[in-house]
């Protein structure tokens, strides 16, 4: 009996040892399967970054966050670094989440989450901080430019990370390399940010006066809007002049306005009106108002060549208008004149046709006469005999013979 009890006790002891060994083995195996899980984070400078570390299985093992300088930020729910920007969001056996407010470029780098098992397991999450580009500036242009000048517009923006992109627009239409020469952007590293320059070279003319050239900065930190700067060009050029008369026909006794239309920068004011190379007649019915020359009641003495001349410091230009005042009575009968003119034209045409036909007829008969004369000339003593002897004239010859008999 005693031997039997001893055997049973030995068996129980052995089973306990085996069970304890199996439990220890399973615990060690579970510890080996625990790994912290993290994700990289990207945030714009000045924003807030949330750093999260998780484990799928944890047997009351502590989690810890450390910054790129290997300074402990949080150990579990205990704050280790005195930084008012860093706060605890969530702490449990399976998760440790912290937030960093007002992120700066110096906060960028690898952050380490540690799981204090045996041995300690770690995972690194990289915090990327985007540098927001500053509002660009356009320089290199001094107002005003002269027509034909070569100018350079340079757009500069700083503080971007990564380097920003710059695009050019002419009155909201994007400028392509085919239309204007655009030099490649220059990217200069300045610490952790970049300064980007892009230059636009062009030869200006009068069509560029008042045109807005805009450079826009595109960057990943500006998803919905873009920074931009605009330069409105001022181009000086010599005037161009044009005279526009009122639409009514210049009839004697009627009203007429001659408008002097000009374009020039600076504006060439006032303009000079002359007639036939001399001064305008001093008449009450001829009025100059600004750039307009007005005849309140036209007269045949107003006939002549009128010139409008404009000048600025870049040059002088003029335009001319030949004025012929019509008789209103003759104008009323203009349809009869047109009809008469049409009839005369038809008569002249028919006459020319008859002359051409008659000329061809005479030329053909003259040829026949000469031919007949040639045929009878071989045996005839004189020209009259030759004509009588020609072919086709024998009958006439006989008739003449019978007549003379």
Residue by residue, DSSP assigns 45-107 as TTS-EEEEEE-S--SS--EEEE-TT--EEEETTEE-S--TTEEEEEE-SSEEEEEE-S--GGG
3-state DSSP: the chain helix, strand, coil percent, rounded to 5?
A: 25, 40, 35
> Model pTM?
0.64
Residues 183 and 118 in one domain: no
Domain membership of residue 282 (yes or no) is yes
What does pLDDT average to over the chain?
81
**In the predicted model, what is the mean pLDDT of residues 320-327?**
94
Lowest mean pLDDT among 205-209, 269-273, 399-403: 399-403
**In the predicted model, what is the mean pLDDT of residues 148-154?**
93
In which band, very low, low, confident or very high, does the pLDDT at 393 lie, cut at 50, 70 and 90?
very low
Domain membership of residue 28 (yes or no) is no
The count of domains in the chain is: 4
Is there a contact between 64 and 36 (Cβ–Cβ < 8 Å)? no
Residue 355, H or E segment:
helix 334-375
Residues 319 and 340 in one domain: no
Q: Which two tokens stand for residue 32?
A: 């080996």
CB-CB neighbours of 83 under 10 Å: 14
Residue 105 pLDDT more than 90? yes
Higher pLDDT, 20 or 291: 291
Phi, psi at residue 263, to the nearest 5°?
-130, 125
Higher pLDDT, 368 or 113: 113
Residues 303 and 252 in one domain: yes
Of 275, 295, 330, the position where a domain reaches its end is: 330
With a pLDDT cut of 90, the percent of the chain lying above it is 56
CB-CB neighbours of 194 under 10 Å: 20
Coil/strand/helix, residue 178: coil
Nearest Cα neighbor of 138 from 180, 166, 178 is 166
Residue 401: its pLDDT value, please?
40
Residue 19: its pLDDT value, please?
33
Looking up tokens 């045949």, which residue turns up?
Answer: 300
Domain membership of residue 10 (yes or no) is no
Residue 318 pLDDT more than 90? yes
Of 130, 152, 187, the position where a domain reaches its end is: 130
Residue 58 pLDDT more than 60? yes
Rounded distance between C-alpha atoms, residue 236 and residue 313, angstroms = 9
Residues 104 and 149 in one domain: no
- Cis upstream peptide for 13 (omega within 30°): no
With a pLDDT cut of 70, the percent of the chain lying above it is 76
Is there a contact between 261 and 241 (Cβ–Cβ < 8 Å)? yes
Residues 155 and 227 in one domain: yes
Residue 10: its pLDDT value, please?
41
Within 146-292, residue ranges assigned H as helices are none
Lowest mean pLDDT among 141-150, 272-281, 359-368, 379-388: 379-388
Looking up tokens 């008969």, which residue turns up?
Answer: 365
Residues 319 and 348 in one domain: no
Coil/strand/helix, residue 224: coil
Domain membership of residue 3 (yes or no) is no
142 CB burial (10 A radius; 0-12, 13-18, 19+)? exposed
In Å, how far are 80, 91, 113, 125, 361 from 94, measured between CA atoms? 20, 8, 12, 17, 124
**In the predicted model, what is the mean pLDDT of residues 134-138?**
94
Is there a contact between 240 and 147 (Cβ–Cβ < 8 Å)? no
Residues 293 and 339 in one domain: no
**In the predicted model, what is the mean pLDDT of residues 168-181?**
77
Residues 194 and 146 in one domain: yes
Domain membership of residue 1 (yes or no) is no
Domain membership of residue 387 (yes or no) is yes
Rounded distance between C-alpha atoms, residue 285 and residue 247, angstroms = 19
CB-CB neighbours of 36 under 10 Å: 23
Residue 21: its pLDDT value, please?
39
CB-CB neighbours of 385 under 10 Å: 14
Residue 303 pLDDT more than 80? yes
In which band, very low, low, confident or very high, does the pLDDT at 381 lie, cut at 50, 70 and 90?
low
DSSP codes of every residue in 388-403: HHSTT-HHHHHHHHHH
Residue 382: its pLDDT value, please?
54
Domain membership of residue 221 (yes or no) is yes
Residue 298 pLDDT more than 80? yes
Query: Could you tell me the CATH number of the domain that includes residue 93?
Result: 2.60.40.10
**In the predicted model, what is the mean pLDDT of residues 349-361?**
81
Residues 125 and 108 in one domain: yes
Residue 389: its pLDDT value, please?
53
Domain membership of residue 5 (yes or no) is no
Residue 48: its pLDDT value, please?
97
Pairing mode, strands 235-245 and 145-146: parallel
Residue 373: its pLDDT value, please?
46
**In the predicted model, what is the mean pLDDT of residues 153-168?**
92
Which residue segment(s) compose the domain that 169 sits in? 137-233
Residues 57 and 126 in one domain: yes
Of 233, 255, 278, the position where a domain reaches its end is: 233
Phi, psi at residue 302, to the nearest 5°?
-80, -10
Q: What does DSSP assign to residue 208?
A: G
In which band, very low, low, confident or very high, does the pLDDT at 184 lie, cut at 50, 70 and 90?
low
Residue 396 pLDDT more than 50? no
Is there a contact between 63 and 108 (Cβ–Cβ < 8 Å)? no
Residue 106: its pLDDT value, please?
93
């Amino acid at each position: 009996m005693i031997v039997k009890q001893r055997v049973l006790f030995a068996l129980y002891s052995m089973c306990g040892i085996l069970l304890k060994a199996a439990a220890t083995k399973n615990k060690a195996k579970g510890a080996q399967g625990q790994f912290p899980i993290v994700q990289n984070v990207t945030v714009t400078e000045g924003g807030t970054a949330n750093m999260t570390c998780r484990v799928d299985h944890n047997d009351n093992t502590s989690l810890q966050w450390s910054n790129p300088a290997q300074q402990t930020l949080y150990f579990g729910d205990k704050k280790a670094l005195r930084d008012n920007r860093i706060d605890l969001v969530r702490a449990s056996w399976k998760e440790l989440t912290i937030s960093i407010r007002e992120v700066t470029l110096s906060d960028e780098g690898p952050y380490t989450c540690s799981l204090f098992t045996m041995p300690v397991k770690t995972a690194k999450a990289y915090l990327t901080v985007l540098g927001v580009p500053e509002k660009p500036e356009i320089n290199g242009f001094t107002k005003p430019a002269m027509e034909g000048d070569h100018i350079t517009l340079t757009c500069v923006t700083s503080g971007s990370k990564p380097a920003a992109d710059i695009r050019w627009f002419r009155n909201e239409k994007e400028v392509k390399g085919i239309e204007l020469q655009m030099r490649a952007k220059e990217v200069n590293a300045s610490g952790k940010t970049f300064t980007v320059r892009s230059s636009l070279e062009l030869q200006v003319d009068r069509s560029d006066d008042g045109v807005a050239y805009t450079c826009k900065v595109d960057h990943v930190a500006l998803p919905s809007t873009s920074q931009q700067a605009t330069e409105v060009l001022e181009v000086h050029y010599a005037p161009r002049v044009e005279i526009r008369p009122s639409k009514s026909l210049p009839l004697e006794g009627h009203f007429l306005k001659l408008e002097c239309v000009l374009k020039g920068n600076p504006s060439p004011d006032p303009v000079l009106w002359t007639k036939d190379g001399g001064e305008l007649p001093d008449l009450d019915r001829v009025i100059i108002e600004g750039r307009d020359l007005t005849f309140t009641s036209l007269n045949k003495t107003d006939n002549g060549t009128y010139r409008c001349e404009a000048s600025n410091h870049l040059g002088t230009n003029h335009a001319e208008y030949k004025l012929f005042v019509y008789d209103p009575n003759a104008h009323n009968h203009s349809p009869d004149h047109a009809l008469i003119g049409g009839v005369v034209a038809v008569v002249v045409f028919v006459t020319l046709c008859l002359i051409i036909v008659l000329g061809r007829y005479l030329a053909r008969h003259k040829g026949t006469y000469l031919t007949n004369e040639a045929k009878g000339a071989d045996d005839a003593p004189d020209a009259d005999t030759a004509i009588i002897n020609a072919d086709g004239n024998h009958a006439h010859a006989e008739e003449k013979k019978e007549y003379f008999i």
